[in-house]
A and B are shown apart, each in its own frame.
Chain A
Amino acid sequence: MIVADRKPVEEIIEEVKDHDKILILGCNECVTVCEAGGKKEVAVLASVLRMHFLNQGQTVRIDERTLQRQCDHEYLEEVRDIIDQYNAVVSLACGVGVQFMAEKYHATPVYPGVNTVFMGVTEERGLWTERCQGCGECILARTGGICPISRCAKRVLNGPCGGSTKGSCEIHKDVVCAWQLIVERLKALDRFDDYEKLSALKDWSTDRAGGPRKVVREDLQDESKDT
């Protein structure tokens, strides 16, 4: 899932301080699972903002709504008939949702209520860690299912670097050395010999470096739209 973290309340207050009709818009997908932007977090932020403005002597309307997703047209359309009641939206979706909202409702300011951090897993409640950077050309088959691009601080394809110590990365002892994991995994798979295969230079054009990316599946596209 996409993992996000709550923005400090002070920052959100600063974003919306000049608006008096605000919709706090949550998302029922990833940000609900990582407890940053679901229905519950919407309720907390709305309550905090209501108290803040009241305490400031400002009359501000703060409403709450949580959509199934903010990265699909059909769900974002659900606020079409109420959007004009607001002069600002704080979206607690990931950066994707915030932007799609902004594209769809061109004249309504949309502010981010979370910091979108990475694609990762829930290791335990309250602990999420990164697993993928969407480089566009998956190499996990070669690295025993452990990604050196997202999990190595230097994304070395022929690791580990000289800073790997007792299984930890040089940047912090709490960061696991991805290449230590890869080596252990290759051994467990009885593929340790594969370690010596040199990894060729990576084509980063499918990564961020290649510019904004898109996936086109003509077989899935609606043909009636073409003509």
Chain B
Amino acid sequence: MKVKTPSKLEKILAAGHLAVTSECGPPRGSDMEKISEKAELIKDYVDAINITDNQTSVTRMCSLAACIRLKLMGLEPVLQMVTRDRNRIALQSDILGAAAFDIHNILCLSGDHQSFGDCAQGQNVHDLDSMQLAQTVRLMRDEAKFLGGGDISRPPQMFVGAAANPFADPFEIRVPRLAKKIAAGVEFIQTQCIYNMEKFELWLQIAGDRGLLDNVYILAGVTPFKSAGMAKYMKNRVPGIEVPDELVKRMSDTPKEKQAEEGVKICIEQIQHLKEIKGVHGFHVMAIEWEEMVPEIVKASGLYPRPSVE
């Protein structure tokens, strides 16, 4: 695929390298050092760092401010943006704000429902949905136009991403949904955490058969288990995540003090396996509140050192 933006992530993918991304959640406060510390831990092991946007609807420092911080550190941020909290005026405005700091990657999401967070009594906006947000970014970038039709001076240069969950229900629409996102202008996908390899491969195969994988880069999402408890929680409590029984058993059968180690081992095995699958263009390593494990996972998976691009 032709490179359309100055995004380093896009260039790495276009050059045929397996990309690696990870993510940081901004703090529940205004201390920027928290962001810098997390970023320092992982910066040499990933190509870009997602900054979450009030994830699980818990109020945090804004994604844009934290992305700017990464940019000032010379790193490559992926601005996550949910449609839950902003209408189309605010979304376009924030996109321009990010563009002003040459933030070149955006991940378009709808966001968890606010009832999960600390402002369950708040309104939600959902003026646009995630696909329409992707369309909006593409319009702003490719046509240099606002939704209202006006011209944008110095339009955003953003590589447009979205999430995909091959495991959500109903399965039969998972590939059509990917097709829709691509049609909306999505250029890269970061998937939900993959534990059910068979189902993920089936999803990729159907997508490949439809020719969809020629038009989008798929970064496979992986998350190491910190404990058997976490594996069970992910299996039973997190909507849209499928954890096979044998993985839960493997974690549970491991002595407590060795579980974290086993979780990392499973994660590395998963990456090794996924690397061989056609259509996987990279990895999104989501080590939830466990960023310090990212370097080890990346190194042990043979994804280090990271390539450099122009």
Contacts and interface: CB of A to CB of B under 8 A. Distances in A.
> Are A and B genuine complex partners?
yes
A166 B126 contact: no
A155 B128 CA distance: 9
Interface of B: 83-84, 88, 110-113, 115-116, 124, 126-132, 135-136, 147, 163, 165, 168-170, 172-173, 176, 179-180, 183-184, 192, 239-240
A157 B129 contact: yes
A154 B124 contact: yes
Nearest to A166: B169
Interface in A2-32: none
A158 B131 contact: yes
A75 B184 CA distance: 52
Interface in A168-227: 170-171, 177, 180, 183, 195-196, 198-201, 204
A171 B57 CA distance: 12
A163 B170 CA distance: 11
29 contacts: A153-B113, A154-B113, A154-B124, A154-B129, A157-B129, A158-B132, A159-B129, A160-B173, A161-B110, A161-B130, A162-B110, A162-B165, A162-B168, A162-B192, A163-B113, A163-B168, A163-B239, A165-B168, A165-B239, A167-B169, A167-B170, A170-B113, A177-B169, A195-B176, A196-B176, A196-B180, A198-B131, A201-B88, A201-B136
B110 A164 contact: no
Given A161-B110, A163-B239, A183 B163 contact: no
Contact of A160 (B113, B132, B135, B168): B168
Q: Which of B111, B136, B179, B239 has the most CB of A within 10 A?
A: B239
Interface of A: 153-167, 170-171, 177, 180, 183, 195-196, 198-201, 204
A160 B168 CA distance: 9
A195 B184 CA distance: 14
Given A163-B112, A163-B113, A201 B169 contact: no
B13 to A, nearest CB: 23
Given A163-B112, A171-B115, A180-B169, 15 more contacts: A154-B84, A154-B129, A158-B131, A162-B110, A162-B192, A163-B113, A164-B168, A164-B239, A165-B169, A165-B240, A170-B113, A195-B173, A195-B180, A196-B180, A201-B88
Contacts of A201: 88, 128, 132, 135-136, 147
A208 to B, nearest CB: 11
Contacts of B130: 156, 158, 161
6 A-B pairs with least C-beta separation: A156-B129, A162-B165, A158-B131, A165-B239, A170-B239, A161-B110
Contacts of B115: 153, 171
Contacts of A162: 110, 163, 165, 168, 192, 239-240
Contacts of B163: 162
B126 A155 contact: yes
A149 to B, nearest CB: 9
Contacts of B135: 198, 201
Given A158-B180, A201-B88, A183 B239 contact: no
Contacts of B147: 201
A199 B132 CA distance: 8
A154 B180 CA distance: 18
Contacts of B88: 201
B206 to A, nearest CB: 14
Nearest to B184: A198
B115 to A, nearest CB: 5
A163 B116 CA distance: 12
Contacts of A155: 126
A167 B83 CA distance: 23
B168 A198 contact: no
A196 B169 CA distance: 16
Contacts of A158: 129-132, 180, 184
A172 to B, nearest CB: 8
A188 to B, nearest CB: 13
Given A162-B163, A198-B184, A201-B128, A156 B110 contact: yes
Contacts of A198: 131, 135, 180, 183-184
Nearest to A154: B126
A165 B234 CA distance: 13
Contacts of A177: 169
